[in-house]
Structure 1
Amino acid sequence: MKTIYRILLSILFSVPLMFLAAEDPPPYQTASEDLKAELWSAFSDKVLQPENQKNLTFDLFTPELDEAFLTPDGTTAVLWLALRDEYGQRLATEPGLVIAVLNDNRWEVLLPDDPAWEKTITTLPAGLVPLEQSPSPEDIETSADIKAPVTGYYLPYAAGTSRWLEGSISHFQSIPELGYPSCKVPDDCRYAYDFTDAWHFPLLAAKEGRVVASRDSCTDGNPYCTNYIVLQEPDTQLYQIYIHLANNTIPDKLTNGTLVKRGQYLGDTDDTGYSTSQHVHFMVTNSIWLGGDGYYWGRSIDIRFVDVAINNGIPRTCYEVTHFPIYDGATECLGDKTDPRNPANDWFPSGNVGAYPPTGSLSVPAAGATVTVGSTQIMDVRANASDDVRVTAVSLVAKLDGQWNEIGPKISQTIPPGVYDWDVNLCEAGVAVNGALEVALRVWDHEGNVSTALTPRTIQVDHSCPPPSSQLNPVQDFDSTAALLSWQAVDAGAGLSTFEIQWRTNPGTWQTNNTLIIPGAQRSAWFSGQGGTSYAFRLRAVDENGQVEAWPTGDNAETSVTFPSICTTDSSEPDNTSGQAKLINLGNIAQRNLCPAGDNDWFQITVQEGKYYQFNALSLNGGAAVNLTILADDGTTILTSAQAPGLGLNLHHLYKAENNGVVFFKFTPLVTTLFGTQATYSVRVEEVIPIFLPMIVK
């Protein structure tokens, strides 16, 4: 970067431009820390006097000393005041200004509304008073044919990024006890905007223009020296002024006369010059002049931003629209007006698309390549990327559900320059694929521009995630021919589709048709077998991509069970025919077990025509589950039937009586092999009044 003043020859433009040597020493000195403390004490005493207290606005802002400078004779000091809000955030803007005069070894502070202010400030050495606090030159030419508001501007930072608007009309509001206004002539900065962020950020041209003058030789944070760039818009006397830039960040190619496109990089923000914290002071003027420590100023004009959705393109802070007069009809802000200094307020998103976005190309993986073959889930990626300023990061993107998504890390290291080489674990990146996948390159540049998906291609992925894993727990057995199997499983990234539980008699051989298919969300299942027989079990998981876990090694079983061959009947036996059916009253509970094998448990109940009855058979133990059959009073004619949805599950059935009188009902085992002393269930019948909701068909 060049560290010289860039000043376009005045013969090219109608505004005379002045020269200032870069090495001229400032006409003042910074106050010592001890003197700053003395000056601050004098200021505090001043603003706490009764006549000043009525105007204090310290409810939201607390002043603090930013800088203090002395005249060469040491008799006058200029104090820069920074403000800190109720959230502890220091305002990034031009400081408030107060003057202290030494009389009889005592510092007397002057505020901007004091009678002696104007006389005192005009006697200060040139350069000690910022341009913002200086009167406009009398002989400045302005263009009378400019029709404001002027449109077509974009926020001076990259599309897709947001910056905090610190202030606009705040520049010329009179708050004397805080040293404001920071801009002496209201028209000079009525349409000026201060944008900031937590740290330096890149600036982009808000509109096309040619470089008139620039400087980036001032060291960062230097209060004596202001970095800036000025663009003149083609065929007009309109000037875009960007102030407080960082050291050595204006591109060397932006020499005087260079045409700059809208969205082209201009440099980074900083805190150089008359500023309390890093920000950019941006405005468009119809005149410019040189002054202060050697930077440009002018009279701002009304402009409108295309990408500001409120106030017809006028940015405002929530504090400004709630505490200051309304200008140009701008009544809205981005945020909560009831909490105007909330840090979530006033973030303005830009639509300023970069004039020179970054570019690049993928070289690996090649189109059509097959990746993650075998046991590896790592995919090698190689790319080239470039930018007119510099590339800050690259990443692989994949099209998922029709959208390009970043997968894997952002890479900033190059080996060699411009070449990026890294690995992506597709599974860890959440890309659980088996088959075709469209990938591309995404590039970020220093300005904040983000490329489109560059050089897309389709590759083949051979199971991006490893197979799932599972393990059966020891079987939970009962005095029943049903056992409860449970297991643990690890989803390796692709999701669990199903489990396959294979069983065999013990001893015996594994057979494909002896397989239970269980949904991937389950972690337990009942199994029923022949009484007096031993069974062995093994388990494997299948992921959502159809990838199957291997069976346990060596054909081994993971758990086993031996079912009882005999059982003890319940006390209600015999109840195996309609003639032996037990009477049950509505609401009463009866308990039974499924014993012996093929057991039938009969009941009878009195019902009334047209009424509804809920039949419930709840599984209590041993995997009990039943079939229900309801029969007419002849004990033969079947009226309705139902069954439990599975072993160990409950049965519920709603029945509407067709006649008055007795109906019979019986329960049988859900599966023919199920019996056992502990295969118990409960029975209850209740009269109910069902509620049928109407069906709405669109």
Structure 2
Amino acid sequence: MFNPPKRFLQILFTLALLVLTSAACSTLPEWSLPQPKTLSATPTPADARFQAVESALRAAIAGREDVLAFLIYQVRIERVDFSEDSTMALVWFALLDPESGETIPGELSLALALQSESSWRIVLQADPDWAEKLAQTPDTLLSPELKERYMPDVQQIPKDHQVFTGYRLPWPGGTARRVSGSIGHVLTYKTCPSTCLYAFDFADGTMFPVTAARGGRVKYAVWRWPNGNTEHANYLVIEDTSTTPTTYQVYYHLAQDSIPPELRTPGAPVYQGQFIGNADDTGPSTAHHLHFHVHTNSGYYWGTSVDIVFEDVADNGGRPRTCTEAAQFPDYGAQCARGNWYTSGNYGDDEPPTGDLTAPQAGQIITTPLMAISGWGSDNKGVASMQVLVSWDGTWKPLGAPQTVSPFNFEADLCQVGVPDGPFLLSLAVRDQAGRVSLGMPGQRLLEKNYNCNPEPTPQPCIPGPQQAALFTGPNYQGACQLFDLGDYPNGTALSAVGNDEAESVQVGSGVMVLAYTGENLEGNRAVLLEDVPNLADHPLGANAISSLSVQLRLPPPAPPQIIAPHNQSDLPPTELDSLTLRWSGDEFSKEFRAELNGPGGFYRTLEWQSSLLWEIGVLPPGDYTLAVWARNPAGEARGALNFSVAKVEPPPIARLEALSGVQRTTAMLLRWQALQNEKNIDHFEMQYREDGGEWQGWNRPLQATARQAWFVGQPGRRYEFRLRAVGQKGDAAPFTEQPEVILEIQANCQPDAYEGGDPGDDQFISAAPLEVDEVQDHNLCGLGDEDWVAFPAEAGAAYRISTNPTGGGAAVNIQLFAPDGYNLLGEVRPPDLAQPAALDWIAPDDGIYFIRFTPFDAGLMGSDVRYQARVARLSQVFTPTLVCSSLLLPLIWVLVRAYLKAKRQPLR
């Protein structure tokens, strides 16, 4: 056998690596991977920092299958903004259609680049530390407004949320534009994930004219920023007070100076279909487009979007979606238009609405607080609302609520509005569905009010103070009267001014209550009076019936009793075997209590008035119960109620491990079990084990109710015993069995695989086992911490899949791919569990010999039977690179490397 000297082989191996990394013969093609996870071609500025950041972003998004945007689109860096100290950078990038290469019009996506020693670390929005790092970005680098917009909180669909209607697509009727994004703001490219679930981006590649989707008045207008400005956007916000609550329409990324001058003033009216500006890409934008959404935030131009529907869109109930969004997220709308083109039905409305008042008549004198008003409104596109207006000081004010049905009639309270006596004007304002308002003042007429809204009160001979009461011999507090201070008044002598059985009305001070009796000495029927009684004949006590009374400080009525949910002695919900005591509590004003208990099968029991706070009810049959408890004091009663259940006692669930014994050549033990009794009530399983006959100890791994097997990793040379039980949903469980159900012993030693020859075998990259592409190698994990290295040749631009397949002993290994230097990690993947395969797809950037490291999925996994197959398969070619010198030499180099690696694995003689 050929055994070259070790020094010679090391020199040969080093020369092979130098040839692969040499660029003397020709230049490799610029990096480009035409797959959804990659960057598209991006112009490279002269700044070396840009190149380093671009390379870092390239590596960060490769293989990121958890980010949907990188699976669907290609990526192009638009710009990189570096901090003053060059330790941080904002990476602004656009998304591209992978087939056409067209830029997807929308807001720019954002990533963070952080300087770490000599390299840049990329933080994406899907990373767990995104919010933390974004918050640490200096305000001089990223404004607080944009920082808040890119925060990762995802806007959710609220339960039973309001849907706003009456909108039309915001461009001229009869023309079509594409929807370039909607729910993607939150679910795909996440350019404003916390506020834009109901936002839309529209584009057609031009600075197309934008029209109002719905009418209103200008709230905010910004028009001065130059077209293409990357930091500041031009926008128009329209306030719509016809909705409840008031809504605000945001038209974002408008062109410079395209907002008409008459719409640059807050309060200017805007009607549906009116031209309001041209679309552009001002602000953080990828291309000419309009960003549109509606919110309810009155204090700022931006706010959390609300659900709206367009009347001229048939898809998804009026909600445009791109076909990509409809396919990826059908729960948000599965319909889309061909090519994403939608035609507007927003033709505007040039004809204002009309209307008139039919009542009251001009010149009428109003002598009552309520005034009857009627009128009508009309419009060719439909009336949205009709508001009656009133003026007595030169300012028009709304009178009553807006009317929505024509003709209308209602009554308005002039005193409530504050109309003074004298002449006043009445008119009408009609608003149509497009937001246009009627011209002039329809129905204007002059009226006169002649009614005193605050007449002087009629003086009374007896006016009780807060701690007094008054009796009157006549109804409505007329006739002879008498004031009573705090105290008892037992007979007619004490009621001398009114007399015995003569009272017909009562007034009660705010701080007292009156206990009125039909008999003398505070006896007979009693009534507690907390409010004035203008006519005792209408009261249960009756007129001419008070013979004695007591004036006491007012007690508030008692609060409803707070009922304590019944529990048994184990502090668990009650069962049919428990003797129960029902308990409650009352506030300081509760004097007595009574109770009723209703249950299954007509069960009914009562407890009469008492001062106790408990009811010893005893054992109850299983079923649902309602306990009602009343509290009372002289001021009134209050009721509280509680529903509870008495459970039927069921036997605990039973489960057993499947019998298993013997010696096995793996530290991974697969334990299986079955549910034998009351399976539907199982909440979880508990397992215990002991090692070498020691004490039983609980296995802390959670075992859900649906689980029927679990992997346990032990230690070589040990003997393990197991037992298991099921735990019910109420915590009930049978005891563990006395004897173990499974007894297993793990073999202490193991037989290594064929690639472990020599020292250090295949445990280091320098002695890695050669692996031909599409060849399958059999390995095992022999010894704790055993790892296997293989080397294989790869051609630049070729796609490979590195995979492992378990063939015994619960084998599962992690895959790590290293560069030809054996140190730089290019990619890694872990299997989901023991006895599971793993695979890593990769495209070789250069010709070379690459190394793969296989390590145990679990640090304790080993044994002769822990076997797996390793394979490197070549996939379809992504692109064909220019043939360079290293490509021509690769087969020769691979022959030399194979000879070197095989020699390394043979013991030196």
TM-score (normalised: structure 1): 0.40
- The answer to which structure, 1 or 2, has the higher relative contact order (CA under 8 A, 6+ apart) is 1
TM-score (normalised: structure 2): 0.31
Structure with a larger share of its residues in helix: 2
